[in-house]
Amino acid sequence: MLPVAVDAVGGDKAPGEIVAGARRAVDELGVPVLLVGPPDRIGDPMGLDVLACTEVIDMHDDAGSSVRRKKDSSLVRAAEAVRDGKASAMVSAGNTGATMASALLRMGRIKGVARPAIAIPIPVPGSTPTILLDAGANAEVQPEWLVQFAQMGATFFGARYGETAPRVGLLSIGEEDTKGRPQDKEANALLRATKNVHFIGNVEGRDLMTTDVDVVVTDGFTGNVALKTLEGGMRFIQRAIAERIPPELFAELWPHLEPLVTELDPETYGGAMLLGVDGVCIISHGSSSARAILNAVGVARDMVAEDLVRHLREAVQTG
């Protein structure tokens, strides 16, 4: 297969952990990887191929303008490599907005898709994750976009977890079809009329970490708030428990809790997918370590092998 383009200079732990994760992907998964970034910023590429460029978009750069201005940045070059058939997919733990903008401007949208959305796995230990979208690409949405998010989210869930008719819910503030804002009620009605989605109706925030639903759609504002609320809550509780248990007891406890902590760790899932652009684009958490990058490259490889983009196109066009 074509290599996966990995933005070597994006993320809090770049380049060290990023390059190390890419190296592990080659060694452990056998997936070819192309590091993208300025060679002097990458340092030791650990024997991996480098697509050299001269610029870097920082975490705090404005997404839209930096992508237009920094045409020789790692993000723009990674997206171009996918567009030009030099890479099969891109992975970045850098500036999320700029990653989206690079993918959107260079790869373009899948024909028929109104807006790409960020799909993120919410861990449900002991089960497949719940896919939440949009987790932040579009602060405001039209009801019709939510239908496409449902179609794309269900397709992605199917490609990743092999479940062909995943249950899709609309995030709202009550289970009845009449609950929510006017836009949610309209989306609910449109989803009920959508043939290629197994729509189970409205779901609530408390359903995200359960096995009651597979794919949850909402606008990018609400989705981002829900995601960060859950991340904050999980981090808080893990810390609170660790603080309150005496060290000897904690040592006894850890073997029982470690699998749960691993299952709850976003790194386990490799990151979010930008669904709707004409290529595979994975947005990893800003704090990604080597393990997160390894897993992200693995997901990228799987989604390329599954021909995700073709399935997304078909889902949106036949719905």
Which residues would be at the binding site for its own copies (CB under 8 A)? 125-126, 136, 139-140, 171, 173, 180-182, 184, 204-210, 218, 220-222, 224-237, 240-241, 244-246, 249, 252-253, 256-257, 259-260, 264
Q: Kindly state the smallest distance separating residue 178's Cβ from its own copies, in Å.
A: 9
CA gap 138, 255 in Å, rounded: 41
Please name every residue paired with 132 in a beta bridge, in sequence order, or none if there are none. 120, 216
What residues contact residue 201 under an 8 Å CB cut-off, 6+ apart?
A: 169, 170, 175, 177, 188
CA gap 306, 44 in Å, rounded: 33
Is 42 or 132 the residue whose CB approaches its own copies more closely? 132
Through-space distance between the first and last CA atoms of the chain, rounded to whole angstroms: 31
Q: Kindly state the smallest distance separating residue 144's Cβ from its own copies, in Å.
A: 18
Is 87 or 264 the residue whose CB approaches its own copies more closely? 264
Q: Kindly state the smallest distance separating residue 238's Cβ from its own copies, in Å.
A: 8
Is 10 or 38 the residue whose CB approaches its own copies more closely? 10
Is 126 or 162 the residue whose CB approaches its own copies more closely? 126
CA distance to 55, 102, 106, per residue, from 73 (Å): 4, 10, 12
Q: Kindly state the smallest distance separating residue 260's Cβ from its own copies, in Å.
A: 6
Q: Residue 57 carries which DSSP code?
A: -
With residues binned 3-state (H G I as helix, E B as strand, rest as coil), the percentages for the chain, rounded to 5, are 50, 15, 35
CA dihedral 76, 78, 84, 88 (to 10 degrees): -150
Three-state SS at 88 = coil
Is 50 or 114 the residue whose CB approaches its own copies more closely? 114
| Cα 85–chain centre separation | 22
Q: Kindly state the smallest distance separating residue 102's Cβ from its own copies, in Å.
A: 19
Is 129 or 279 the residue whose CB approaches its own copies more closely? 129
Q: Kindly state the smallest distance separating residue 201's Cβ from its own copies, in Å.
A: 15
